[in-house]
Amino acid sequence: MEIFKYMEKYDYEQLVFCQDRTSGLKAIIAIHDTTLGPALGGVRMWPYATEEQAIEDALRLARGMTYKNAAAGLNLGGGKTVIIGDPFQDKNEEMFRALGRFIQGLNGRYITAEDVGTTVSDMDLIHEETNYVTGISPTFGSSGNPSPVTAYGVYLGMKASVKEAFGTDSLQGIKVAIQGLGNVAYALCDYLHRDGAILIVTDINKKAVDRVVNDFGATSIEPNDIYKQEADVFSPCALGAIINDVTIPQLKAKVIAGSANNQLKESRHGNIIHEMGIVYAPDYVINAGGVINVADELYGYNRERAMKRVETIYDSLTKIFEISKEENIPTYLAANRLAENRIQRVAKSRKQFLQNDKNILNGR
């Protein structure tokens, strides 16, 4: 991998390698863009097979956070940390405290939070060394686990998507096929069940499936059968790259709306489902509730304020669907355009401000 060529192609700002021999920490911090403000993105811990895979994941996820934060209207850029290691075997206190010191050394350019493989407790350990961390325990005046808020945003985004497809945002009687039943998906099932949706669910974890079946009267199916269900909505809430050449021909749903990151395996798959007339809620827009929630901590956490901001996900998706129709472009491109335009406007404004300041100093 030619790192500088990759960084130049997508205009990354910084890549930081962090090593602590005592704790076994091997981490990579990627900062993509700070035009809108400090980079915000979580810490992912995963047993990557190679260092190159870890680097690529950090870079890809950091860029995704730039778009997510911009589309959510946050004054934050995009960044990400990945730790190479098994989250079930390799964690220790010293590891996260060491990472906290590295983050502190970036002097506010990057703010972290939890992600796949990390927890609120891990964030508390990072907080021992730096204030540039969100999603810590409520005892520290924070918001805690962001999963329920992410689920609320996905629920609202699904309502907006259903309205686009069927003319009403009522979920009464709507069949939703949900792939993956982690913390976010369980809370999503609760919202959907209360609204009278019919749930079809799957997960490789049988206990998670049984819980949802018992609590919400869902119908369970085998993992490989989820795509071909006669459902109104397909809701991917687990793996990325799940919209691909193999799964698309099986889909019968008119809406794709779920919490999983990076749902399109390739951009062309977004083009294909657009041509099929499927309403696709771009993942980084619909699943932004969690990051909106933890970002509110930067101002002194206020749950009511945070939830009102999460509710704008409905309006953001409605606008994206309008752009998609008006310009006849896939919704993922419409979402990208929305995010990129905001970044460009701020960059242009900042450039003009600096030029005016320079002119004043030069007596013009």
Domain locations along the chain? 3-64+76-139, 147-333
Q: What is the pLDDT of residues 139-161, one digit of tens each?
A: 877 777 788 999 999 999 999 99
Q: Residue 352: which pLDDT band, with cuts at 50, 70 and 90?
A: low
Same fold? 3-64+76-139, 147-333: yes
326 pLDDT higher than 70: yes
Give the number of other CB atoms < 10 A from CB of residue 178: 28
Residue pair 95/20 in contact by the 8 Å Cβ criterion: yes
Residue pair 166/205 in contact by the 8 Å Cβ criterion: no
Kind plus residue range of the DSSP H or E element containing 156: helix 147-166
Percentage helix, strand, coil for the chain under 3-state DSSP, each rounded to 5: 50, 15, 35
Which residue of the set 80, 91, 163, 254 is catalytic? 80
Taking the CA atoms of the chain, what radius of gyration do you get in angstroms? 21
355 pLDDT higher than 70: no
Backbone angles phi, psi at 201, to 5 degrees: -130, 160
pLDDT for position 364? 57
Enumerate residues 6+ apart whose C-beta is below 8 A from 202: 177, 178, 179, 180, 181, 209, 220, 221, 222, 223, 225, 226
Residue pair 297/142 in contact by the 8 Å Cβ criterion: yes
* Joined tokens for residue 95: 């590891």
Quote the mean pLDDT of the chain: 93
Q: Residue 288: which pLDDT band, with cuts at 50, 70 and 90?
A: very high
Q: Residue 77: which pLDDT band, with cuts at 50, 70 and 90?
A: very high
Residue pair 257/233 in contact by the 8 Å Cβ criterion: yes
What average pLDDT does this structure show over 279-298? Answer: 94
Q: What is the pLDDT of residues 17-49, one digit of tens each?
A: 999 999 999 999 999 999 999 999 999 999 999
- The closest alpha carbon to 34, from 101, 85, 125, 107, belongs to 107
353 pLDDT higher than 90: no
72 pLDDT higher than 90: yes
360 pLDDT higher than 90: no
Beta strands in the chain (DSSP E): 14-20, 25-33, 39-40, 43-46, 77-84, 110-111, 175-179, 198-202, 219-220, 233-236, 255-256, 279-280
Class of domain 3-64+76-139: alpha beta
pLDDT for position 351? 67
104 pLDDT higher than 70: yes
What average pLDDT does this structure show over 57-74? Answer: 94
Q: What is the pLDDT of residues 179-229, one digit of tens each?
A: 999 999 999 999 999 999 999 999 999 999 999 999 999 999 999 999 999
Asked if 207 is an active-site residue, the reply is no
HSE-CB at 42 with a 13 A cutoff on CA atoms is: 25
> CATH number of 147-333: 3.40.50.720, 1.20.210.10, 3.40.50.740, 3.40.640.10?
3.40.50.720
299 pLDDT higher than 90: no
* Joined tokens for residue 118: 């990390």
What average pLDDT does this structure show over 57-62? Answer: 93
pLDDT for position 357? 47
Kindly state the percentage of the chain with pLDDT values over 70: 96
